[in-house]
Structure 1
Amino acid sequence: MPESMRHPGKMLPSIAAQVISAFTEPGELVVDPMCGIGTTLVEAVHLGRDAVGMEYEEDFAGLTAANIQHARSQGATGSARVTCGDATNIAAVFAGLRGEAALVLTSPPYGAHTHGHVRSGSRDGGGPVEKWNHRYSTDKGNLAHRRLPELMEGFGRILEGCDELLRPGGVVAITVRPIRVDGQLVDLPGQVVATAEEAGLVLTHRLVALLCGLRDGGLVNRASFFQMLEAWRSQEKGLAVCAAAHEDLLILRKRGDEA
């Protein structure tokens, strides 16, 4: 739905569709514990899978429900439902689905706000900058408001709950990219891997999902304005800083299933 553009950290539908197609079969169950506006669930039902999701923010949970209904009106054959709540309790909320999920597909929050939509008057950021749709939430209970160590701790509890929902041989897929905190590059994918392994999961693949476009045989970076601005300013200082053109796609399995 058009209102979905209000969410500042949407998963790319093409990534969700590729992962669901690769790791599930029609009729199987897909779970997203932090489903946002429901990209994972929508792509799942379009591919004939069933899906459940949780979303902390009531506003975005409502958008997920609307997007599922819209997908069904377009002929999607799968079924899906969303619950508004705290995903650290996902195993209890979806207790009837323990051992049923073929795939958990999600992405962690990157903080209380992201770059969202930006309009600038100049390339170097010297002109006025207008920002909108850049906040996840104003609710301090949202995991996105926590400092990085606390965010990872909460995400670990979510993954532990998801592990209980996985069937034998099931897969957890996480899309995540490095971030900058106070100008310093943080290996968030590496922290997510460590957190997932503490939750009882085992990394089997670390893949690259390109976020760039293709034009005339070349890559066109779709990095945000502020990513590009930071890269330009760093390069002017002689620093080898580039704007990221990919996300890491982490594939994990339950311990004992990785073989």
Structure 2
Amino acid sequence: MVPLTVWLCSDTTTDVGAAPEPSAAGSRATDGGATSRNLCLWHRHAVGRELARHLITTCTREGDLIAEGFTVNEATLAAAAGLGRHAIALVPHFPLAQHVGARLRAGLSEQELKRVQMRPVRPDQMVRGLADHLGDVALVIAAPPSYEAGGYAPRTIRERGCPACRAVLWQLTSQQLGLFLAAAWKVLRPGGVLAITTTARAQAGRLIDPAPRVIRQAQGLGFRYVQHVIALRVPIDGDALVVQAGPADLAQLRDTRSRAMPPPVNVHADVCLFTKPRRGQDGDAR
């Protein structure tokens, strides 16, 4: 059985309208207008700041290199820089790169900015984008969209003001997850960690849980599935989860007698942790 653990990952300091959280080395007071309001709720929390911190402190050491695919916000880059790591995010969509860059410049010191990069390649092109770091990466992080792991492809932009939603639609040409996992194998060093974040959701009247498909694909490439994490995205008050409804959720309130499915609430994410075996561990590394 794979060990199961729970992480508290509520990003209360970077919620809607909040300025970027100050970093350990200092920060600037304003964000130049690039606040988290620009991102929809889903993309703000795909990989939030607290989840990124948990992953980075658990799986890496100071000075290590982290790579992120399917990047939709600045959380991983900002957390890595603040924790003394180096990080590269794959952001092929220029408007999204502009948004992420503005957030980073607003929240990080000059020294921290030197530790992070963005490269304009798709997730499935990670080997090309990290050709100068093959076999050097300690941690690869990704939160692939649902259509990459068994969900339905979006037909329209969910939130027109969200640069990540526009990027998803722009990249919607073919499923990239399998190629991304294969690329992660090549860029990770032996013993490196692959962290895939997924969220089960209801689509077209059925529940879609991407995790089993992701696990099968990763194991088929030779990764070892070592831990499953439940990342709670909402605060805890005593023994209760504090779920606060936003305007969009309140607009979906329904008659309790209705047979329609209730509005979805984003309470937790599933994080699957895989390792690339070292030589001589579960067979020779490829």
Tell me the TM-score range normalised by the shorter chain. Answer: 0.7 to 0.9
Counterpart secondary structure, 1:169: strand
Match of 1:174 among 187, 190, 196: 196
Taking the TM superposition and a 5 Å limit, the aligned residue runs for 1:45-60 are 45-60=81-96
Quick one: distance in 1 between partners of 2:37 and 2:263?
Answer: 29
Match of 1:5 among 10, 15, 37: 37
> Deviation of residue 198 (structure 1)?
3.0
> Deviation of residue 170 (structure 1)?
0.5
Counterpart secondary structure, 1:35: coil
Quick one: distance in 2 between partners of 1:214 and 1:98?
Answer: 41
> Deviation of residue 231 (structure 1)?
9.5
1:105 lines up with 2:141 in the alignment: yes
1:96 lines up with 2:158 in the alignment: no
Quick one: distance in 2 between partners of 1:170 and 1:138?
Answer: 28
In 2 relative to 1, CA 157–99 (structure 1 residues): closer, same or farther, beyond 3 Å?
same
What amino acid is the match of 2:53? A
Aligned match of 2:69: 33
Taking the TM superposition and a 5 Å limit, the aligned residue runs for 1:143-182 are 145=172, 151=175, 154-182=176-204
> Deviation of residue 66 (structure 1)?
2.7
What amino acid is the match of 1:211? R
Contact 2:95 2:163 in 1 (8 A): no
Q: Which has the higher contact order (CA 8 A, sep 6+)?
A: 2
> Deviation of residue 75 (structure 1)?
6.3
Aligned match of 2:109: 73
In 2 relative to 1, CA 188–39 (structure 1 residues): closer, same or farther, beyond 3 Å?
same
Aligned match of 2:230: 208
Aligned match of 1:64: 100
Counterpart secondary structure, 1:48: coil
1:221-256 CA distance string (max 9 Å, x none): 357777888896787449899855211011011145
Please identify which structure carries the higher strand content: 1
> Deviation of residue 194 (structure 1)?
1.9
Aligned match of 1:184: 206
1:15-65 CA distance string (max 9 Å, x none): 111110111111110110222222111110011100111112111112222
Quick one: distance in 2 between partners of 1:45 and 1:164?
Answer: 24
Quick one: distance in 1 between partners of 2:272 and 2:38?
Answer: 26
> Deviation of residue 201 (structure 1)?
2.0
> Deviation of residue 215 (structure 1)?
2.9
1:249 lines up with 2:271 in the alignment: yes
1:153-175 CA distance string (max 9 Å, x none): x1110111111111111001111
What amino acid is the match of 1:61? A
What amino acid is the match of 1:7? L
In 2 relative to 1, CA 203–81 (structure 1 residues): closer, same or farther, beyond 3 Å?
same
Counterpart secondary structure, 2:112: coil
> Deviation of residue 135 (structure 1)?
6.4
Unaligned runs of at least 5 residues, structure 1: 117-130
Deviates more, 1:79-88 or 1:232-241: 232-241
Contact 1:223 1:244 in 2 (8 A): no
1:136-189 CA distance string (max 9 Å, x none): 1277551xx36xxx53xx111011111111111100111111122202101112
What amino acid is the match of 1:162? A
Contact 1:213 1:222 in 2 (8 A): no
Aligned match of 1:133: 162
Quick one: distance in 1 between partners of 2:193 and 2:236?
Answer: 30
Deviates more, 1:36-45 or 1:5-14: 5-14
